[in-house]
Amino acid sequence: MLRTIFLALFYAIAVMLPPAHAEGELMVMPSSLKVYNNHDHSVKVRNMGDAPLYLSISVQKVMNPGVEPEVKVPMGQVDRPGMLASPDKITLGPGQSRAVSLKSLYAPDAEELYRVYIVPVRSLQVREAPEDRITAPMSVSVGYGVLVRHMPPPAKQRSAWTHRCTPGGVLLENTGNVRLLFSDVTAAGGAKKNWMALFPGTPQLFPGKSLSLSADDKRLTLDCR
């Protein structure tokens, strides 16, 4: 009788416990990087689990860098794509790793921002799928959006910014060609940011007649009154 009770209890507990590492676990490094023309760049993907991973890889350009929410456009809809990632599909066995190559198609005049999405997909019929080409129906899991800064050549990089007083508030504008970072940004209207990125070609407007921020370790107040 005791043996029967023990076995029943054992099987009940076994059913309730989730299997350890039953699914593939994806690690991607680095989470952000700079890419230059005519240089080799890559992102490393690794399967940390004990089940196969089937990865789909795509690139999107961020059209409003530094602003939330991001507006992103797939490469097929960009007039002049600046970035390629290859391969676009990967199969990783347990413990396997592989590099995703990132190629700059030209040297930009000003910094551009891209997201490289590496997303695990679950095939319904993976046994029939070749290793380098997944053709079976897929369901998508949570993946990574690697941040890629497409940079001008170092010798041509310039850092500069200005502000303008407008009827809508204080307008910050990047007049250089690379990203600038500001911290402790406080607008007169009460809006606060611990930090912000200001990209060339994407000015940012802060309502109110004044704006305080820290730049290059200096505290500044921009007064439009």
Give the separation between CA 11 and CA 9, rounded to whole angstroms. 6
Do 139 and 172 lie in a common domain? no
Q: Which distant-in-sequence residues (6+ apart) come within 8 Å of 185 by Cβ?
A: 192, 193, 194, 195, 196, 206, 211, 212, 213, 214
Domain that holds residue 137: 22-152
φ/ψ of 22, rounded to 5, equals: -70, -25
Answer with the one of 152, 185, 200 that is the final residue of a domain.
152
154 band by pLDDT with thresholds 50, 70 and 90: very high
Do 134 and 211 lie in a common domain? no
Answer with the one of 125, 152, 179 that is the final residue of a domain.
152
9 within a domain of the structure (yes/no): no
Do 99 and 55 lie in a common domain? yes
Q: Taking 50 as the threshold, does the pLDDT of residue 207 lie above it?
A: yes
Residue ranges of E strands in 48-124: 53-62, 72-74, 83-86, 89-92, 97-104, 112-123
In this structure, the strands spanning 83-86 and 89-92 are unpaired
Do 115 and 190 lie in a common domain? no
Answer with the one of 111, 132, 152 that is the final residue of a domain.
152
Give me the number of domains the chain comprises: 2
Query: For the segment 111-122, what is each residue's pLDDT rounded down to a tens digit?
Result: 999 999 999 987
Q: In this predicted structure, what is the pLDDT of residue 142?
A: 56
